Amino acid sequence: MNVRVLLLAIFWANQALTQGFSGLGTEAEGFAMPDPQHVISFPQDHGAHPDFRIEWWYLTATLEGDDGAQYGVQWTLFRSAMRPGEGEGWQSPQVWMGHAAVTSAEEHHVAERLARGGIGQAGVISTPFETFIDDWQMLATGAGLEDMTVRARGADFAYDLALHATGPIVLQGDRGYSVKSPGGQASHYFSQPFYEVSGVVTLPDGPVAVTGQGWLDREWSSQPLAEDQSGWDWFSLSFDTGARLMGFGLRGAALFTSATWIAPDGTPTPYGDGALQLTPLNHVEIEGREVPTEWRVALPVRGVDVTVEALNPQAWMGVSFPYWEGPISIAGSHTGRGYLEMTGY
Amino acid sequence: MALLTLLSHWRRHPGQLVTLMLGLALATALWSGVQAINEEARQSYARAAASVTAQSYDRLVTPDGQPVPMADYIALRRAGWLVSPVIGGHVQIGAERWRLLGIDPLTAPQGILPQAAGESLVDPTAFLTGPGQAFVTPGVNIVSDQREMPNFVPVEGIAPGLILTDLSVAARLLDQQDPSFLTILPDQPAGLPALAEVTSLTRQQPSEDRDLSRLTQSFHLNLTAFGFLSFAVGLFIVHSTIGLAFEQRRPVFRTLRALGLPLGRLVGALMVEVTGIALIAGSVGVFLGYFVAAALLPDVAGTLRSLYGADIGGSLAFRPLWAGVGLLIAMLGAWLSAAQAVWKVARMPLLAPAQPRAWAMASAKGRRWQVAGALALFGTSGVAGATGGSLIAGFLCLGALLLGAALMLPPVVSLILAGLSRMVRGALPEWILADTRQQLPGLSLALMALLLALSANVGVSTMVGSFRQTFLGWLNQRLVSELYVTAASNGQAEEIRAMLAPMVDATLPIAYAESRIAGAPGRVYGVADHATYREYWPMIVSVPHVWDALAAGQVALINEQLSLREGLSPGDPVRLTNGLTLPVGGVYSDYGNPTGQAMIALSLLRDRFDDVQEQRTAIRIDPERRGAVIATLQDRFDLPDGAVVDQERVKQASIDVFDQTFRVTGALNVLTLAVAGFALLASLMTLATMRLPQVAPLWALGQTRARLAWIELGRSLGLVLITWAVALPVGLALAWVLLAVVNVVAFGWRLPMMLFPLDWVRLLGLAVLSSALAAAYPALGLLRMPPAHLLKVFSNER
Amino acid sequence: MVRVETVSKTYRSGEGPVAVLSDVSLSVGSKETVALTGESGSGKSTLLHLIGGLDLPDKGSITLDGQEITALGDTARATVRRDTVGLVFQQFNLVPSLTVAQNIALQARLAGRFDAALTQRLIDRLGLSGMQQRYPEQLSGGQQQRVAIGRTLANHPKVVLADEPTGNLDEDTGDAVMSLMLDLVAESGAALIMATHSNRLAARFSRRVHLSRGRLEAA
Ligand SMILES: Nc1ncnc2c1ncn2[C@@H]1O[C@H](COP(=O)(O)OP(=O)(O)O)[C@@H](O)[C@H]1O
Ligand SMILES: [Mg+2]
């Protein structure tokens, strides 16, 4: 079986394929729709929302090793529902997918895991918080999401990290309701961008002790993209000032951008379409595609005008549906480090 | 223009054209039909080898064969081991029983489904949820019953008889949540805990004894040999027809040459003609071949299933490559048949007179060469038979024997006729014999074809008959117990034995363990010490007091296959498993089993082997009381249908399997004989046109047409009789080679040869009937011929 | 010996009926030799075939040695042919699979009146002495016709019917064969009817008749 074909269709990353299945993600399918009135509350919203079509728990971390080298680490659990709700055993309509990656300037290691719901091979528990697929896991060691451990393993790499939050959880968009297109497509979206990270990354050359910063994104929806949108470029920037900037652009008939300025104390200020300016500067060719790995990111209202550049331009995620994900460095009006995700290339 | 002139011949002799086409088409049909069957089987084996069922991956199973608890699966996954669950079983849908395999596409190894399945997966959601989807081989029609069935999607590359679907569908249809086994993916992450620390499941290597293409090689070689034989017989027709047509056109060739047509152009035109005819006839042949294959395939499938457990579908795919090869073969055959004739034309002196009889006479000169060739072939056959230990050598031995006999036939017939003509008195008998001898070269190709078909028939039917007789005797020895019970587990079997012990004469566990015997996969059986074995077991050779030694655990018995394959005789040590090697105490016959087998004392088996299977029990009991015991068993234990069978049913099933096995052989036999009959008809018809100058003078001298017609008919029958008489010893020699050489290599057992004279008489009847039919037409033509037609022979205008 | 009365014969061919003989009558006594002349296609062969019982006329009757063969069935006519008639054709007279000796003896043996001495004498007279064991195709045309004559006479025929027996031979050979035949027929006492279109040969016969446009005229 070509599992990739299967997954391309189940997960919505490839818009063209998704459109092949008429009406997926519409209310007629019975999926719950993001609701601007919904008040995000914990711990319930740490857990899964099986009535929504897609959902993810997305951790990225920019790290420095005791060897002086820079690293990036990704740990993601995706949930996708083929039908709303849960089912017994093998009959469950829920499909889980884990992605893990370690990136350095020279190397990029990726692993992927898939599991069906209903049998305990993968899942999320809200209290005490725990997400897992196979032997990969991200779980809270205390209350809420403040202290966690994260681990994953691939054929040629592994990592085991401890996280400690130094700031509050941040609601994106309008109190956690994040609009994705002029037509009103939206998702529920919140982040914890204030993790301090320490732990060990094991590469083919051996283990490396690492420290750095981490950023957790939580998002769920049933129809995140409009029909004409082909992909997005998503930035999470941690400035040396302690402020954070989340910004994304959805590429459609017109570019749709959105940004959240996060003060060092965690106070968010959302900015709607057009406030954030994204300009690709340099493309590299990866597997026959032109991917921009250097960008100009400007949020003039906040005086931000920076150039971001990939630590490793070849940070390609060659998984079931391929995308680009890797650490970046920031220069210009602000300095710091961050993560860049680009899909649909 | 030259071509048109040449082709006009066929308009004037449509019968010849039909004969030629039909001969070539038949030859191509049988040959390509057999090829189509072989190709279909090969594809099935390849498919089977590519699917999970071929056990291409290591597996994790429970020691007792029960499903793997879900918790064990999850524990392995949560420990990081990449294992994938499979739920397998059999389902009855309508009248058909299917093998059902549910996989988890999310964790299964890449490429577990054929490419086509992935591509036809238009809606993966539909595969994973709801009623689901199931892949089956194209061309099957599954009639759904009341249960909630998945949508069946035909896909190239799925093994026949298999339903491949999602785990969720299999779980529902089989009512089983826990995986039947876990597939271990070949690439595992680094730094995993050892498997034994994570699970108590047992790891199973993929087994090697299911290499179907190797097992079935002999069967397919057999088919190929038959196809080739038919092809050769068909080419005999083509050769003689082309030869005659060329000879009859010699005046035309001469005229064309005299008119200034260069020799090269003439030969070229002839080649174009032959090629054109071959293309048309070949197409017809390929077309027919497809139907031959389609008609035979169900039988072939049955044979392969019963003999080797190999599943090939009952439906046939049309493959352009195969059709192309069939056409090519037809072309090669036609060229081969025409080569001699074209060569003669090329060397023909410009002014040679047309003399159709010279053509008939010409091969008489080659008689000495024929004898020499035949002797050389007999030599080859002998050498191949004596030295060869391989299937190829066996078939070479057969082929050379047959061809040699065919070549030898005309000299032998001519010798017999010469002897007869010295014995008979009377003008008419003398004329008949003299005339027959002269006619012989023209008929000999057809007679040779008939000889091939008849000897093949005698040989194969003697082989099958001997096999069957031996097999029946062996079944009677081997199946002595009155009842056979199959329990669900070893434990239940033990309970059954305990319960039955006081009610019956004996309960004999049928216990075995899979092992590697002398290095190759095979089963080791454990036998209780009981008179049943001592009295009836079909032993071929043994040491004295073998049963006492066996009961004492001092010797092992092995089957004939193993003994022949490894060259083991009583006294030789045979390795039964790690750390257990025993001397061979005896060799027993074990027909129908392609693998090696050994028998040791039951207690020894239980002591020294893991995973001993003891579900089956043989029960000795007064046949009168069978019914009561069966009733008790079904009362006390929840045994499914077929768990208790009596001796007759096992025997009947075995005999059915046996007969099924040789059904195809029988069908091909008949087809070959039919082609040979046609060859005879073709030859007689073409000769009939040349017979007038021979017959007309006798008619003019006062013989009636009716009498001459009877003579013609009788002569053909006489020739067939002689051919049959020659075919008998050749066929018996063939049978001997099949039994003593080919069988030993192909199956691993030697069989005694038995004679079935009644079959020979039946064959003679068949041959006489077919040749009478073949000869009747020309004879009838002579009977009805108007005198004016006969008179033309003498007329001036001729 | 031979009486042909108002015999007519019409062939039905592709181009319509061809009337070959119309009301032909002819009477030939024993020991008489008759030359039958006429152009090619005039019906000479047809008439001889009818007299020999090889074919049947549409109309009229033919009597051979007192037997009306036109009234006989196939088998009986074959017997008359075997016992009474000797036939010599222009070509293909011989059975290819039998030797010269066997061919000469064939008809006499079939009729059951084989006479070894007579046969040997004929072989000598025909100049075939060294050739008894040869096959027809190993003989020249003249030799083949001599074998055919020998075969005919070895059977003591009452009537010899010869259809242009020298037509395929060169003049010298033809003359030699012809002389031999006339001598031997005279010796045997049989009647002879021979078709020929050579007037030179016809001159040596006791009677000459001419076929023209289906009618027989005395020449
Ligand atoms: N079997 C036949 N069918 C039709 N026409 C024939 C047949 N045999 C002879 N004829 C025709 O009858 C005529 C007489 O032929 P034939 O007796 O052979 O003549 P002759 O021997 O004088 O040359 C010829 O025109 C010939 O073409
Ligand atoms: Mg004539």
Q: Transcribe A94-152 into DSSP letters.
A: EEEEEEEEEEESS-EEEEEEEEETTSSSEEEETTTTEEEETTEEEEESSSTTTEEEEEE
* pLDDT tens digit sequence for B543-590: 999 999 999 999 999 988 888 878 889 999 998 887 889 999 999 988
**Does residue C70 form part of some domain?**
no
Question: Are A10 and B189 a contacting pair at CB < 8 A?
Answer: no
The tens digit of pLDDT for each residue in A30-62 reads 888 888 899 999 899 999 999 998 899 999 999
Helix axes B367-387, B356-365, angle to 10 degrees: 50
Q: What is the pLDDT at residue A291?
A: 92
Of residues B379, B274, B308, B200, the one with CA closest to residue B17 = B274
Of A5, A93, A111, the CB nearest to B121: A5
Q: Please count the residue pairs, one from chain A and one from chain B, whose beta carbons lie less than 8 angstroms apart.
A: 100
Query: A248 near A341, Cβ under 8 Å?
Result: no
Q: Is the CB of C40 under 6 A from ligand 1?
A: yes
What local confidence, expressed as pLDDT, does residue B603 receive? 92
**Going by CA atoms, what residue is nearest to atom 13 of ligand 1?**
C41
Sign, CA dihedral B669-B671-B674-B675, equals negative
CA distance C186 to C45: 23
- State whether the beta carbon of C145 lies less than 6 angstroms from ligand 1: no
Cβ contacts (< 8 Å) between B79 and chain A: which residues? 135
Mean predicted confidence (pLDDT) in A259-276 = 93
Residue A208 reports pLDDT greater than 90: yes
Mean pLDDT of A249-253: 86
Q: Determine if the peptide bond prior to A207 is cis (ω within 30°).
A: no
3-state secondary structure of B294: helix
C23 falls within a domain: no
Burial classification of residue B143, based on how many CB atoms lie within 10 Å of its CB (0-12 exposed, 13-18 middle, 19 or more buried): exposed
Say which ligand is closest to the CA of C39: 1
- Report if residue C62 sits inside a domain: no
Across the interface, whether the CB atoms of A10 and B124 are under 8 A apart is answered: yes
Helices (H), B59-102: 70-78
pLDDT tens, residue by residue, B121-170: 556 677 777 778 888 877 777 766 666 788 888 877 676 677 888 888 89
* The two three-digit tokens of residue B572, written as one number: 């030789």
Contact A65, A208 (CB under 8 A): yes
Residue C20 Cβ inside 6 Å of ligand 1? The answer reads yes
Q: Tell me how many domains chain C contains.
A: 1
Residue type, A277: Q
Q: Give the containing element (helix H, strand E) for B673.
A: helix B663-700
Give pLDDT, residue A5.
38
pLDDT over 70 (residue C15): yes
Burial class (CB in 10 A: 0-12, 13-18, 19+), C130: exposed
CA of C46 from ligand 1 middle (Å) equals 6
pLDDT of residue B82: 92
Which residues make Cβ contacts (< 8 Å) with residue B173, sequence separation at least 6? B91, B100, B147, B149
Which alpha helices (H) appear in B424-530, and where do they start and end? 427-478, 490-500
User: What is the ipTM score, two decimals?
Assistant: 0.90
Atom 21 (ligand 1) nearest CA: C45
Q: Report the nearest-CA residue for atom 6 of ligand 1.
A: C11
Q: Is C19 in the pocket of ligand 1 (CB under 6 A)?
A: no
Q: Rounded CA gap, A304 and C200, in Å?
A: 139
B171 with A89: Cβ contact below 8 A:
yes
Using CB atoms, which chains have 3+ pairs under 8 A with B?
A, C
For residue B4, give every residue at least 6 positions away whose Cβ sits within 8 Å of its Cβ, in sequence order, or none.
none
pLDDT tens by residue, B263-298: 788 888 888 888 998 899 999 989 888 888 888 787
Given CATH 3.40.50.300, say whether it is the number of domain A3-12+46-343. Answer: no
For B312-318, the CB contacts below 8 A with 24+ separation are B312/B40, B312/B41, B312/B44, B312/B45, B312/B160, B313/B40, B313/B44, B313/B137, B313/B139, B313/B140, B313/B160, B313/B161, B314/B160, B315/B137, B315/B138, B315/B139, B315/B140, B316/B36, B316/B40, B316/B290, B317/B40, B317/B43, B317/B138, B318/B290
Contact across the interface for A3 and B105, Cβ inside 8 Å: yes
Q: What is the pLDDT of residues B295-331, one digit of tens each?
A: 878 777 766 665 565 666 666 777 788 888 888 888 8
Q: What is the DSSP string of B385-444?
A: HHH--SHHHHHHHHHHHHHHHHHHHHHHHHHHHHHHHHH--SHHHHHHHHHHHHHHHHHH
Spatial distance between the Cα atoms of B437 and B435, rounded to a whole number of angstroms = 5
Which residues make Cβ contacts (< 8 Å) with residue B255, sequence separation at least 6?
Answer: none
CB A121 within 8 A of CB A132: no
pLDDT of residue A311: 93
Which is more confident, C116 or C169? C116
Identity at A250, one-letter amino acid code: L
Cα gap B228→B238, rounded to integer Å: 15
What's the average model confidence in pLDDT over C166-189? 85
Please indicate whether residue C44, judged by its CB atom, sits closer than 6 Å to ligand 1. yes
* C37 CB near ligand 1 (under 6 Å): no
Token pair belonging to A125: 């528990």
**pLDDT of B334 strictly over 60:** yes
Chain C residues with CB inside 8 Å of B431's CB?
95, 97-98, 102, 106
Token output for B188: 């595992």
Q: With respect to residue C173, please indicate whether it lies within any of the assigned structural domains.
A: yes
Q: Helix, strand, or coil here: A62?
A: strand
In this complex, which of A9, A93, A121 lies closest to B124 when CB atoms are compared? Answer: A9
C27 pLDDT band, cuts 50/70/90, is very high
CATH number of domain containing C48: 3.40.50.300
Joined together, the tokens standing for residue C91 give 């070509």
Interchain contact, B702 vs C111, CB within 8 Å: yes
Q: By three-state DSSP, how is residue B284 classified? A: helix
CA–CA separation, B404 and B545 (whole Å): 49
pLDDT confidence of residue B46: 65
Residue C207, min C-alpha distance to chain B (Å): 24
CA distances from B788 to A57, B136, B508 (A): 106, 69, 86
| Residue-wise pLDDT tens digits, B634-678 | 778 767 666 787 888 777 777 776 776 677 777 777 777 777 777
Peptide bond into B583 cis (omega under 30): no
Strand, helix or coil at A323? strand
Neighbours of B107 (CB within 10 A): 23
pLDDT at B359: 45
Contact B171 A156 (CB under 8 A): no
The whole-chain average pLDDT of chain A stands at: 87
Rounded Cα gap, residues B556 and A222, in angstroms: 69
Mean pLDDT across the stretch A4-9? 40
Q: What is the mean pLDDT of residues A3-15?
A: 38
Q: Is the pLDDT of residue A1 over 60?
A: no
Angle, alpha carbons A194-A195-A199 (nearest 5°): 165
- Which residue owns the Cα nearest ligand 1 atom 25? C41
Nearest to C78 among B431, B437, B703 (CB): B703
Tens digit of each residue's pLDDT (9 = 90 or more) over B671-730: 777 777 777 777 777 677 677 778 888 888 888 888 888 998 888 888 889 999 999 999
Which residues span the domain enclosing C47? 30-57+83-218
pLDDT of A171 over the 70 cut: yes
Q: Which of A119, A153, A154 sits opposite B74 (nearest CB)?
A: A119
What does the alpha-carbon distance between residue B76 and residue B341 come to, in Å, rounded to a whole number? 76
Q: How many residues does chain B have?
A: 798
Encode pLDDT of B348-391 as tens digits.
665 544 444 444 455 556 677 888 888 999 998 888 878 766 77
- With a pLDDT cut of 90, the percent of chain B lying above it is 10
Domain ranges of chain A: 3-12+46-343
Which residues hold their Cβ within 5 A of ligand 2, which is an ion? B 796; C 45
Q: Which residues contact C165 (CB under 8 A, 6 or more apart)?
A: C88, C89, C90, C145, C148, C149, C177, C178, C181, C194
C32 phi, psi to nearest 5 deg: -80, 145
Interatomic CA distance for residues B41 and A103, integer angstroms: 50
Query: Is-contact B432 C106, C-beta < 8 A?
Result: no
φ and ψ of C13, to 5 deg:
-115, -175
Three-state DSSP class for residue B685: helix
Residue B266 to residue B273: CA distance in whole angstroms: 11
C25 found inside a domain:
no
pLDDT, tens digit, 9 for 90 and up, residues C45-98: 999 999 998 889 999 999 999 899 999 988 898 899 889 999 898 877 788 888
Structure tokens at A62: 């920019």
- Beta-carbon contacts below 8 Å between B and C: 93
pLDDT of residue A23: 32
Write down the pLDDT at residue B356.
42
- Tens of pLDDT, residue by residue over B482-511, are 888 888 778 888 888 998 888 888 898 988
What digits encode the pLDDT tens for the residues B405-437?
988 998 899 889 889 988 888 888 888 888 888
Beta bridge partners of residue B675, listed in sequence order: none
